[in-house]
Amino acid sequence: KKVNVAIVGATGAVGTKILEKLLERNFPVQSIKLLASKRSAGAEITAGGHKYIVEETVPESFEGIDIAFFSAGGSISEKFAHEAVKRGAVVIDNTSAFRMIEDIPLVVPEVNAGALSGHTGIIANPNCSTIQMVTALQPIREKFGLDRIIVSTYQAVSGAGSEAIEELESQSLQFENRSKIEAAILPSASAERHYPIAFNAIPQIDAFDASGYTLEELKMMNETKKIFGDQKLSVSATCVRLPVVTGHSESVYIEIGKEGVSVEELHALLENAPGVVVQDDPSKQLYPMPLFAEGKDEVFVGRIRKDPEHPAGFHLWIVSDNLLKGAALNSVQIAETLLN
Ligand code: A2P
Ligand code: 11C
């Protein structure tokens, strides 16, 4: 069966990748409608040899749509997702608007495809830094159990959208020209203060919560428990923005449910895991890096070590393209799983 698809936020960093992935993977489309704000209405996007005209997003845009991908920010999803469902579409939402609502599935197909059954029209795509971590940890959790995760992230600016990519590029030029560095977007557009990202590391992604954690950190903690269906799992995160364009990296410490497991056993598990590639050979300086993960579909894992101080503790380094497995690809995989 061929389906009518809409992409809300089609001109954005993630939306353009959703269109690319639908075409590249021969998703069975009958038609594709590209939606964005009024500002972009009439803009032309050429992909796969076909010219598309961007339209303004209005409730009527969803008439006749079977699957609507949303990636235009939480407030746009809140405004239009129910309008789309009302008109018969299934919404795959890439924002944080609905992720923690109990009866809305939060899905990474390699981990919890089963959660899709019984959905009521909206399916949430997790946060990019959560997706790559749970994809890599799932085979370990399945085999040995998982008690604890402590993660520190090294996140790319594209996670904050195209304006953040432009900010890194223009600040790099300003640095080169020794002119004043202008910061207006990062760490978060709505923040009171902005800091340069070029040649810097900013330990703030999104706003702070009263707990002292940022919303990005809380997303990693809460979404991981929901996807794994394990509220007892202990998860703590520190999220940092780096001057990398695309590809999030994560230093992940885990305590698994069994003592005495070897690094080789983890290697073997990860080598056979769907969507995961092990790049781990210190003798050849082989380890994942964001520069080389950009444009790739897989989650790359390396630096797998046993913690010398804890019998069930391991360290891993997990890298993936935040716009692909972290966003567009995972959304398209959710749609593929639904159709199957
Ligand atoms: P537009 O290009 O018209 O502003 P990014 O994540 O790269 O910042 O992209 C954000 C996406 O969300 C863009 O496609 C943007 O479209 C879209 N968007 C922003 N505001 C709206 C809106 N009011 N209605 C629909 N789409 C919107
Ligand atoms: C970032 N992870 O890198 C964020 C972007 O909840 O989908 C994704 C925000 C979200 O800035």
- Report the C-alpha gap between 273 and 292 in whole angstroms: 20
User: Is-above-0.80 flag for pTM?
Assistant: yes
Query: What distance in angstroms lies between residue 323's CA and the mean position of ligand 1's atoms?
Result: 15
- Report the C-alpha gap between 318 and 237 in whole angstroms: 14
Q: What is the dihedral of CA 253, 132, 244, 200, to 10 degrees?
A: -40
Q: Which of 150, 177, 238, 167 is nearest to 202 (CA)?
A: 238
Q: What would the pLDDT profile of 131-168 be if each residue is shown by its tens digit?
A: 999 999 999 999 999 999 999 999 999 999 999 999 99
Query: What distance in angstroms lies between residue 15's CA and the mean position of ligand 1's atoms?
Result: 9
User: Do residues 318 and 301 lie in contact, with contact meaning Cβ atoms separated by under 8 Å?
Assistant: yes
Q: Which residues pair with 106 in a beta bridge?
A: 124
- Report the C-alpha gap between 270 and 136 in whole angstroms: 7
Q: Chain-centre distance of CA 80, in angstroms?
A: 21
User: Do residues 9 and 72 lie in contact, with contact meaning Cβ atoms separated by under 8 Å?
Assistant: yes
| 142 token code pair | 């399945």
Which residue ranges have their beta carbon within 6 Å of ligand 1?
8-15, 36-37, 39-40, 57, 72-73, 76, 161-163
Q: Which atom of ligand 1 is nearest to the CA of 13?
A: 7
Q: Which residues pair with 299 in a beta bridge?
A: 276, 320
Query: What distance in angstroms lies between residue 246's CA and the mean position of ligand 1's atoms?
Result: 19
Query: What distance in angstroms lies between residue 212's CA and the mean position of ligand 1's atoms?
Result: 30
CB neighbours of residue 59 within 10 Å:
13
Predicted pLDDT at 294: 98
Predicted pLDDT at 283: 98
Question: In this structure, which ligand is nearest to the CA of 14?
Answer: 1
Q: Which residues pair with 47 in a beta bridge?
A: 50
User: Which residue among the candidates 248, 267, 310, 315 is catalytic per the annotation?
Assistant: 248
User: Do residues 253 and 314 lie in contact, with contact meaning Cβ atoms separated by under 8 Å?
Assistant: yes
Establish whether residue 128 lines the binding site of ligand 2, counting it when its CB lies within 6 angstroms of any ligand atom. Answer: yes
- Report the C-alpha gap between 248 and 326 in whole angstroms: 9
Q: What is the largest CA-CA distance in the chain?
A: 61
Q: Chain-centre distance of CA 104, in angstroms?
A: 17
- Report the C-alpha gap between 268 and 39 in whole angstroms: 50
Predicted pLDDT at 266: 98
Using alpha carbons, list the distances in angstroms from residue 175 to 126, 166, 178, 186, 189.
35, 14, 5, 16, 21
Mutate to test the pocket of ligand 2, among 17, 322, 325, 330 (most ligand atoms within 8 A of CB): 322
Indicate if 128 belongs to the active site.
yes
Concatenate the DSSP letters of all residues of 73-110 into one string: -HHHHHHHHHHHHHTTPEEEE-SSSSTT-TTS-B--HH
ipTM greater than cut 0.90: yes
Predicted pLDDT at 328: 98
Q: Which residues of the chain have pLDDT under 50?
A: none
Establish whether residue 187 lines the binding site of ligand 2, counting it when its CB lies within 6 angstroms of any ligand atom. Answer: no
Q: Which of 280, 283, 291 is nearest to 317 (CA)?
A: 280
Predicted pLDDT at 320: 98
Question: In this structure, which ligand is nearest to the CA of 161?
Answer: 1
